[in-house]
Amino acid sequence: MGKKTYTCYVCGKVDLSKDEIGITRKLIDKKTANFYCLDCLAEYLEVTTEELLSKIEEFKDEGCALFK
């Protein structure tokens, strides 16, 4: 049984990274069925990709379980 792959809800990018899945769950909804790549999530939230990357690092530093 292989690992589950996730696809961006907006652009269709296949095989989203662990960080893309984690940040979608953290900022949208832990139980969401729709995942976003960083670029599409940034556009949806009206922030920059760099801001999302910075938040990911913050959450990792805090020990957030979604980024382990």
Q: Where are the domains of the chain?
A: 18-67
Predicted pLDDT at 4: 83
Distance CA 50, CA 38 (A): 9
pTM: 0.90
Predicted pLDDT at 68: 81
Query: Is residue 2 pLDDT above 70, yes or no?
Result: no
Distance CA 56, CA 37 (A): 13
pLDDT tens, residue by residue, 4-40:
899 999 999 999 999 999 999 999 999 999 999 999 9
Question: Tokens 């899945």 identify what position?
Answer: 21
In terms of pLDDT, which residue wins out, 44 or 68?
A: 44
Predicted pLDDT at 13: 97
Run of H or E including 14: none
